[in-house]
């Protein structure tokens, strides 16, 4: 039973880190990447649909992303979703595809993006601490229900804290890597 609690915590830590990686992927770095727009929600005939389900993506040049909608009727909705996003990009529509040109980032925009990334990293750390808190509550319940000794509980909590510290260190590593990527000219 104890191992189940720790394994569940490991799984939740992994999911939180994967979510953070996806969040970081959505932050623009000056290079074209489909991860920036794949998650955009498009109003497709009254239904909210992620853009990746409505179109294919290609990157013919480092600063150009081409979006090819599967249904040409969705072009206006896709354009509107891109314009309403916080990406700061202007879509160019030629009737068949939508082109997104990525201008070089200004120093102020880079600093603003670094702040956003730091905020997302902090949210990731909060999520990790929430996982730790949940696992700790489960362990304390096991102590009450199944007679887990205080020493055993203390040992397990130290193991859980070590796992949490390792995951927080991974978040810090991801953050440093993304900051370098953003500040690279």
The pLDDT tens digits of the residues spanning 45-69 come to 889 999 999 999 998 888 888 999 9
DSSP state of 66: E
pLDDT given at position 124 = 93
How is domain 2-25+106-183 classified at the CATH fold level? Answer: Topoisomerase I; Chain A, domain 4 (1.10.132)
pLDDT for the residue numbered 159: 92
Question: φ, ψ for residue 149 (rounded to 5)?
Answer: -70, 160
Q: What is the pLDDT of residues 17-36, one digit of tens each?
A: 999 988 887 776 667 777 77
pLDDT at 17: 93
Domain 34-101, CATH among 2.60.40.2220, 3.30.56.10, 3.30.1360.40, 3.40.50.720: 3.30.1360.40
Distance CA 133, CA 2 (A): 15
Domain ranges in the chain? 2-25+106-183, 34-101
Q: How would you class 154 by CB atoms within 10 Å of its CB: exposed for 0-12, middle for 13-18, buried for 19 or more? A: exposed
pLDDT at 104: 78
Question: According to the model, what pLDDT value does residue 121 have?
Answer: 94
Ranges of the chain with pLDDT below 70: 28-30, 185
Q: Sign of the C-alpha dihedral, residues 146, 151, 157, 159?
A: negative
- pLDDT (0 to 100) of residue 162: 94
Spatial contact of 181 and 173, defined as CB atoms under 8 Å apart: no
Structural tokens at position 114: 């670094």
> Residue 61: which H helix or E strand, with range?
strand 55-61
Instruction: Spell out the alpha helix ranges (H) of the chain.
Output: 2-25, 75-84, 107-146, 150-183
Position 180 scores a pLDDT of: 87
Residues 6+ apart with CB under 8 A from 154: none
* Structure confidence at residue 38 (pLDDT): 84
Quote the pLDDT of residue 103.
Answer: 78
Token pair, residue 171, equals: 């978040």
Residue in the block written with tokens 């498009």 = 42
Identify whether the C-beta of residue 181 lies closer than 8 Å to the C-beta of residue 29.
Answer: yes
């Amino acid at each position: 039973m104890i191992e189940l609690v720790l394994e569940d915590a490991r799984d939740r830590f992994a999911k939180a880190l994967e979510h953070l990686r996806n969040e970081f992927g959505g932050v623009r770095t000056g290079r074209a990447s489909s991860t920036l727009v794949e998650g955009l929600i498009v109003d497709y005939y009254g239904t909210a649909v992620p853009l990746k389900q409505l179109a294919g993506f290609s990157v013919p040049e480092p600063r150009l992303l081409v979006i090819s909608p599967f249904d040409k009727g969705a072009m206006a909705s896709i354009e509107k979703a891109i314009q309403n996003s916080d990406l700061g990009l202007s879509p160019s529509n030629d009737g068949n595809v939508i082109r997104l040109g990525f201008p070089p980032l200004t120093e102020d925009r880079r600093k603003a993006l670094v702040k956003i990334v730091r905020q997302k990293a902090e949210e990731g750390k909060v999520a990790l601490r929430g996982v730790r808190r949940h696992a700790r509550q489960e362990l304390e319940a096991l102590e009450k229900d199944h007679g887990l000794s205080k020493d055993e509980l203390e040992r397990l909590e130290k193991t859980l804290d070590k796992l949490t510290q390792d995951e927080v260190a991974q978040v810090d590593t991801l953050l440093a890597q993304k900051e370098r990527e953003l500040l690279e000219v």
